[in-house]
Structure 1
Amino acid sequence: MKLTRTKQHELPAGVLGLASTPDGAQVYAACMDGTVHAVEMATGKKEKFEATHTSYASGCVLLPDGKTLISAGYDGRLIWHDVTTRKAIREVKAHEFWSWEMALSPDGKYVASVTGQYLPGGWKYEPAAETEPGVRIYDTASGALVASYSHTPPVLSCAFSPDSRHLAAGNMMGEVRVWDVQAKDGKPVAQWSTPDFTSWGTTKSHHYSGGIYGLAFSPDGNAVVGCGMGPMGDPMAGNGKMTWQRWDWRAGRKIDQIKDGQHGSGLMEALAWHPDGKYFLMAGRQAQGTWNVAVFSAADGSLVSSLDSKSRLTNARFTADGKGMVASVITGAGKVKPGHWEPMGRVQTYSVEA
């Protein structure tokens, strides 16, 4: 499988959240200046939504009817936007801290958001207990709270199963929990931990860092893939091993992981399964190595293809037909022009060839 970039359009600030129509023709971007934009990929025409977040806009999802977009931000708010008028419909204060990531159930009924601040809870610098639920689920039609789940903060990633029945969430300490959305007891139906996504700083600064920054259920619903960065001695360097692991989530058992020699170093934060279920993509930012975007075989986990996009990919989505991919990007700071910085955000499209 080969990826080739076909389109790229600039946005004023780095893009942290991405949603798109099934064909990838219309893309929605949540940006670090708190704004949310609609971008027509064929022409590059951009329109800003009326409501903005007071801090980073960290995520956005498009409901299946294509009429409503929901965004999340570091201000802890979820905002419902009318796609046609670009005006706000509803606002919900979901968290007292940041919304790290959000996810939409495939049936469009639920939106999940995860939060949590890393504060030392003891002399070993283990995370302190949460001050609010780490995971919350809302009804997309009414904005009503559906469920709140406990998880050790910070909770960095979440994903719904293909049947919309289960929600998985991963945290900084490499722990994944899975809940049955229809259950009323709020207890996880599965959970497991791995040390391969967490670092303890041994130089310069002593604290935990890292975590599972991306999660995705396989199309058949039987496995979960998580991505992030492997352990490193200096948490400020950002040069841990690019890594992913795949688990049988019901058993909490590791099935596979990235192969030795097929990775560089850097933080991986984007995961996407190809619609045919035979491949998955992982992307992020590169510290050392030859790639920051790669495709892997679902059959044996081997590296199929890779590329160096020369920038940080924060999200990736395959089109419904599997022939294209859309991505959100944060570039380097660039040069200061009179009165403003150069644009740091990008949305991109890629062709996908067998």
Structure 2
Amino acid sequence: MFKEAETRRRKWLVLVSVLSVVVIVVLVGLSFFEPFLVFKNAKILELDKGCTTRDIAFILKDKGVIWEPYSFIFWSKVLNYDSKLKSGIYDLKPVSNMSELLLALSKGGRPKELTITIPEGFTSMDIAERLYNNGIVRDKDLFLKYIKPYEGYLFPDTYNFYEDMQYETILKKFLDRFNEVVPQNYDELAKKKGLTKKQAIILASIVEKEAKFNEDRPIVASVFLNRLAIGMPLQADSTILYALGIHKEWLTKEDYQIDSPYNTYKYVGLPPTPICNPGLKSIIAVVEAPKTDYYYFMTTPEGKAIFSKTLAEHEANLRKYYGGV
């Protein structure tokens, strides 16, 4: 009697064990084909850099690609995809099983697109800083070194960039936009003002920094053109700031003494390169500058330019708005 009971118990244990194995096999099999059972419509999936397999699993669950996250985690380890999943934006189409899903996510999605605005007057240093802060470039100093020779031609506008974008691709965007926007006959227009195209862009960069309002830019340009014509120093504070390589509201006496070819108080003529990347208004202002008798200008605390023909008039305007002198 005891032996019969023991035999029956063992049979039940074997049966339960077999059923358990069958259930596990079925569940594992179902988990492998889970995407086929759940994922019926195409999905857009965005995976940020640094996402772990666990993070991705929960994103897939939230997007309705899988029922639950743990089967994805399990199969990523079994199929050796745990460290192969890549970031990006995926246009996922329905797949038959976990292997196909993991394979798709190991290929890398398209880069994440970022819209970045480069304002008029940004220097190459400003541009490098902004793109670095937004993850477009990884090495700010190396990128700055790459674009620095193109100062003045990195046209300010709103662009679509991608994370970790190639330097040459970024530069091409800026230069293509410059060539697209600046008139094709700009060389000829500059020549009429006694300038080469390069000189006109240098002057435009100074106008960009010195004039706050668009209506003032052509007349500010005329002041500098008049000074160049008689060999008078430009005396533009913005060129000294460029030489200093920092942003500051007021220059000191020591700043004005800096020995740099960009110091237009010490050296007559234009600086050797543009001091920023001017917008179209400043670029056109140089070649459309009216003929004036102005040789001086100052700006009010609000940024409005006040023009003078003589030093005496200029000093009177300074006293009016700022006192002293």
Which range, TM-score by smaller chain? Answer: under 0.3
Structure (1/2) with the larger strand percentage: 1
TM-score for both structures, normalised by structure 2: 0.26
Larger Rg: 2
- TM-score (normalizing by structure 1): 0.24
